[in-house]
Structure 1
């Protein structure tokens, strides 16, 4: 095929892969009942006057399926860590024992599971919209090229195949996350 068309297809696929990566990252923040350090990935803590990700000021571990332990590198950051967790609005109630912060992850109610499944579905829809936008941009770029009708049709078909493939990946990722959320 034409070099310009190949370039458009490659960059479109790269953009669609980014949409998938973003979706996976967003779904990590949706908890499925089991405690995981990734749940605190969005928590920012004030550390010497600047906002710093929690994982850069403390070790985060999960001693069991219902508990997250945060061991700060410096004891004086415990109040800031607790405040950061509360501000992140994750629905957790942090407690401290003077040396570390402990979070008990409550079991999910059926209603909360449904809410989380809806949230996951919304993230999946956002990813699909991103992929469709990538398709639109690619098709517009192809139309701007000075190529034959046949080559243009082939290129547009290839873009559609890419789109279908990545939409299926999004559906598959969402289905797995939904099963994980709804499993008691």
Structure 2
């Protein structure tokens, strides 16, 4: 009888130990998942942020009606677009980003070689490309998609501030437009 009690106690202890080990393993695994998801939430793509910064500098040059500076910044943007690395994204995202980057590079090249009216025409499509890129890469900053209903049947651009400064008309109609959407 004593052996049976000892065997039952040993089995019970073994069962409790096994159950505890499984539960601890589950908790460790779920904590790993939580930490991983936290890392993904705070992850920002540094090269995408460089592209955005170059885009905003270009926008500001167009707002200031500065053709020469816009051309220089177009060249800078071409370099940052060509340096973009999409290898951390899914195959589908890589394909979309490749198309976006190719198109944006072409428009930035035109901006680097053109007069201000032509720069602004290319900036319209470039703005769409950059907005599409941000939809995939995300950003660490709050952005404002702004819209001017008068330029080329309506044109949008991105800004870091909610205050409208129109890159399509510059000093002619500096505040023409409105915030269409906030991107966070």
TM range (shorter): 0.3 to 0.5
Q: What's the TM-score, normalizing by structure 1?
A: 0.33
Higher relative CO (CA 8 A, sep ≥ 6), structure 1 or 2? 1
Higher strand share: 1
